[in-house]
Amino acid sequence: MSEAPAASAAVELVAVEKRFDGVPAVRGVTLEVPAGAFVAVLGPSGCGKTTTLRMVAGFERPSAGEIRIGGATVSAPARAIFVPPEDRRIGMVFQSYAVWPHMTVAENVGYPLRVRRVPPAARAARVAALLELTRLEGLGERYPHQLSGGQQQRVALARALAGEPAVLLLDEPLSNLDARLRQEMRVELKAIQRRVGATILYVTHDQEEALALADRVAVMRGGILHQVAPPDVVYDRPADPFVAEFLGYGGFIPAEVAGPAGVRFTGLPGTPAVACRVPAGAAGPGVLAFRPAQVELGPPGAGLPGRVVTRVYRGEFFEFRVRVGPYEVAATGLQALAEDAPVGVTLRNPLFFPSSTPSE
């Protein structure tokens, strides 16, 4: 089905702030969502990502800053501008789906059209098309309580798409589904987005999900955006230790700059420098971060001396915890190393974050 993308619309947040009773929940958020893009806001619970989404939707009023949808300003407290949710061209999918129990699937999906006074015939046609798009054909006359969780999810999605919104807002829509369904829905969601050309702002705490779905990931904590970048950049080059940790990095072993291409462990005097990317002009102490897959375990002597502490069988590989001096690091490998076995530990391309990196 071909759908004209909803104009060359974008969502812009400019220095948006939100305070609840004086306590800041969102601070100085500036973000741009290009038309047709899939932007994920990723962060732990309580970081302000849902609040940000609700400000774009119009269910919360920002304390400061501006929000524009499709080029038009919808929220600007400094200029006393506030457009209510029903007048913004948005579609929203809630975490609980919020599918109306007293209406059929068709009535749910067709509601945005009914509100916009689309004549019944056109409405029915569009509803049919949306049901087909979300693989709900034939279920139009059913009631939500007769559908599974996944189906209700898709009803919510179809309904959000019905009004041809400038932006689709999704608030952790998949967190109530089981693992396998979640995988399926991810694929479907991406497919639908590409077909329809919708602009999506997606809030989640699941980094795997964000990486899989988004064109751009905005990592948020404590109401502040730490990094906005495409998934691979966020994954390979997290901007600071918080983002790194959120993306699965471990270690965080104290080290200090030894030269333009390496650092030395602070707690392991006498060990050779470790090769890693050192940010230009960095000097002094910092932390070393790396993913378990970046930790190579070889025979003793090949690298830093270490000892295997625990080993967990994960089917395709083993998960180890290895003691290196005063530190314990997580590592993965294919070899069935015995617990308590001595190993040589090498770090491949770890990341170094100087202490001056503003993040903590």
Partner 1 sequence: MRGAAARTLLPLVPVATVLVGAVCYPALVLAWYGLSRDAVPSLANLRIVLADPETWRVLGNTLYVALWTTALAGALGVTLAFLVARTDLPGRRVFQGLLVLPYLVPPFIGALAWLYVLGPAGFLNQAWMALTNGSDPLVRIYGAGGIVLAMTLYKYPIAYLTVAAGLARVDPALEEAARSAGASPWRTARDVTLPLVLPSIAAGLTLVFLSAMAEFGTPAILGFPAKYFVLATKIYATILDFDRPYNLHIAAALSLLLALVAGAVLALQRWWLRDRGFGLVTGVGRAPVLPLGRARPWAGAAVALFVVVGAGLPLLAVLLTALTRAYGRPLGADNLGLDNFGVVLFQLPAVWRAARNSVLLAASAATVCVILGLALAYLQQRARIRGGTALETLVTLPFAVPGTVLALAIVLAFLRPVFGLWLYNTIWIILVAYVARFLALALRPVAAALTQLHPALEEAARASGASLWRALADVTVPLLRSGLIAAWVLAAVPALTELTLSVILWSAGNETIGVMAFNLHEEGKVLLSAALASLIVAVSLGAHLLARYLAGAPPPRDV
Cα–Cα distance for residue pair 94/57, rounded to 1 Å:
11
Contact between 159 and partner 1 (CB under 8 A)? yes
Say which residues have a Cβ less than 8 Å from residue 101's Cβ, sequence separation at least 6: 143, 144, 145
Using rule CB under 8 A, residue 169 touches partner 1 = yes
State whether residue 321 is helix, strand or coil.
Answer: strand
CB 103 → partner 1: shortest distance, Å? 8
Tokens matching residue 123? 């409405």
- Complex with partner 1: residue 65 or 163, whichever CB lies closer: 163
> Judged by CB under 8 A, does residue 157 bind partner 1?
no
Q: How far is the CB of 279 from partner 1 (least distance, A)?
A: 43
* Neighbouring residues of 279: CB distance < 8 A, sequence distance ≥ 6: 352, 354
Interface pattern 38-67 for partner 1 (x via CB under 8 A): -------------------xxx--------
Query: Which class for 176: exposed (0-12), middle (13-18), buried (19 or more C-beta within 10 A)?
Result: middle
Residue carrying the six token digits 């590989």: 317
Residue 111 sits in the site that holds partner 1 (CB under 8 A): yes
Rounded CA separation 175/199 (Å): 21
Say how far apart CA 158 and CA 152 lie, in whole Å.
Answer: 10
**Which member of 7, 15, 86, 178 binds partner 1 (CB under 8 A)?**
86
Stretch that binds partner 1, among 155-163, 210-218, 229-237, 285-293 (CB under 8 A): 155-163
Intra-chain end-to-end CA distance of the chain, in Å: 48
The reply to whether 112 sits near partner 1 by the rule CB under 8 A is yes
Measured from the CB atom, is 61 or 237 closer to partner 1?
A: 61
Q: Residue 242 is encoded by which pair of tokens?
A: 């918080």
Stretch that binds partner 1, among 160-168, 222-230, 307-315, 330-338 (CB under 8 A): 160-168
Q: Does residue number 85 form part of the binding site for partner 1 (CB under 8 A)? A: yes
Check residue 255 for interaction with partner 1 (CB under 8 A). no
CA distance 70 to 88: 10
Contacting residue, 14, 98, 128, 273, with partner 1 by CB under 8 A: 98
Q: Which residues bind partner 1 (CB under 8 A)?
A: 57-59, 84-87, 90-92, 94-96, 98-102, 111-112, 115-116, 145, 156, 159-160, 162-163, 169
